[in-house]
Amino acid sequence: MNPQFETYLHNYVRLGVRVGVNLQPGQSLVIQAPTTALELVRLAAKEAYAAGARYVHVEWNDDPLTRIRYEMAPEESFGDGPALRAHNYDRLIERDAAFLSLVSANPDLLTGIDPDRVQRATKAMRSAMSNFYDGVRTDKFSWSILAVPSEVWADKMFGHEPAEKRMGLLWDAIFQATRADRDDPVGAWTAHLKQLQEKSDYLNGKRYRALHYVAPGTDLVVELADDHLWVAGDSINEKGTMFVANMPTEEVFTAPKKDGVNGTVRSTKPLNYAGTLIEDFAFTFKDGKIVDFAAAKGGETLQRLLDTDEGARYLGEAALVPHRSPISDTGLIFYNTLFDENASNHLAIGSAYAFSVEGGKSMTKEQLAAKGLNDSLTHVDFMIGSADMSIDGIAADGSREPIFRGGNWAI
Ligand code: ZN
Ligand code: ZN
């Protein structure tokens, strides 16, 4: 075990409370966490009270219990939403709580369970908790997600290492990727967020009409939506407090114009989708639509993704991420989008975010479509960045300026 483990663990929790939800004195904190994260939750509660929290409420979830319910509860119960939890959350939202989610991926949790049960339970949960999910979607309150290692995840990343070492290696990778291994992690994040903000301000000032991506296997022109906005990883809640919803975050992103994407693009990292790895794939675009694709592995799954609906053949996000970052410097593939999408330039198949255009949060679907935003039930990031990638910004008059050279920012 890393001799610095306790220090880094404390740093990690500190980042979640002080930067992630950026807890303000007098606020309450809701921590959603798996039962495997007991130690982390206690540390987070301490950190929250030290930051001036009024009350720390913990909402536990337990994978084996979840599975027991799906296996044994009567059919009619899957239409019942979590009424008590929803009631608590509504009160906590009224009292200005912040929400910190500790998330431990377990893709095999529901293997073999009737998908209809899962779908009904998810729908009932979403509908009971609609105030909470609407608040997340519109940044009403501060919320943030931190990853917690699980054995399945550690096995996936470090299967070639002795079993007893894997969890420690995964923790080390997470500490490095989130800057929890720095002497002053909160200071490092403040500087990092400022830099991302400078990039998005620069790009917003330029108002490029399109981006031109060039790399081995990639020659792609992506027009940007009308009145597009570049957005960095920090958000502002209703009270005007800054928070960081995803840690790590390295991206600056906006929305492509739905019918304005032409050329070919090659993936540079595997995509973990619906429990399957899709590897070494490429798309050809014509007027925004994916008209051809190939994949060395997982082609059938990719086909199913593209067939989700009409919008699943179009793009909804163009994100710029330098090739060099604490995540890429680990040299690891995390098989977890929270990390992998932040280590590489990426695009997303599917829906665009309303806040990617000016005033978008208060627009109707029709108004967003008129700006060129794509709509779909799905949104899946795929990675295209490499040390060989160049990106030019194309201005309204057709002139070009370098944005990326050799995989890194040129601005
Ligand atoms: Zn992204
Ligand atoms: Zn995305």
119 has pLDDT over 90: no
196 has pLDDT over 80: yes
| Distance in Å, CA 52 to ligand 1 centroid | 33
Which ligand lies nearest to the CA atom of residue 315 in the structure? 2
| Distance in Å, CA 317 to ligand 1 centroid | 7
Which ligand lies nearest to the CA atom of residue 248 in the structure? 1
**128-137 pLDDT per residue, tens:** 999 998 888 7
Cα–Cα distance, 28 to 269 (Å, whole number): 40
Give me the pLDDT at residue 55, please: 96
| Distance in Å, CA 127 to ligand 1 centroid | 26
| Distance in Å, CA 84 to ligand 1 centroid | 34
Which ligand lies nearest to the CA atom of residue 231 in the structure? 1
| Distance in Å, CA 284 to ligand 2 centroid | 20
| Distance in Å, CA 381 to ligand 2 centroid | 5
**75-111 pLDDT per residue, tens:** 999 999 999 999 999 999 999 999 999 998 777 788 8
| Distance in Å, CA 11 to ligand 2 centroid | 27
The residue among 63, 140, 59 whose CA lies nearest residue 98 is 140
Which ligand lies nearest to the CA atom of residue 319 in the structure? 1
Cα–Cα distance, 15 to 9 (Å, whole number): 10
| Distance in Å, CA 253 to ligand 1 centroid | 7
Which ligand lies nearest to the CA atom of residue 233 in the structure? 1
Give the SS3 label for residue 43: helix
Give me the pLDDT at residue 71, please: 95
**14-42 pLDDT per residue, tens:** 999 999 999 999 999 999 999 999 999 99
| Distance in Å, CA 336 to ligand 2 centroid | 13
Cα–Cα distance, 41 to 184 (Å, whole number): 22
Angle of CA points 48, 52, 56, to nearest 5°: 45
pTM over 0.85: yes
Which ligand lies nearest to the CA atom of residue 352 in the structure? 2
The residue among 297, 331, 311 whose CA lies nearest residue 373 is 311
Continuous H helices in 56-98: 63-72, 83-94
Query: Which domains are assigned to the chain?
Result: 5-178 (3.40.1830.10), 200-232+248-409 (no CATH)
| Distance in Å, CA 39 to ligand 1 centroid | 30
Which ligand lies nearest to the CA atom of residue 249 in the structure? 1
| Distance in Å, CA 84 to ligand 2 centroid | 32
Residue 59's region, left for phi above 0, alpha for psi from -120 to 50, else beta, is beta
Which ligand lies nearest to the CA atom of residue 342 in the structure? 1
The residue among 250, 408, 253 whose CA lies nearest residue 339 is 250
**339-354 pLDDT per residue, tens:** 988 989 999 999 998 8
| Distance in Å, CA 341 to ligand 1 centroid | 6
Which ligand lies nearest to the CA atom of residue 379 in the structure? 2
| Distance in Å, CA 72 to ligand 2 centroid | 36
What are the structure tokens assigned to 19, written together? 């930067």
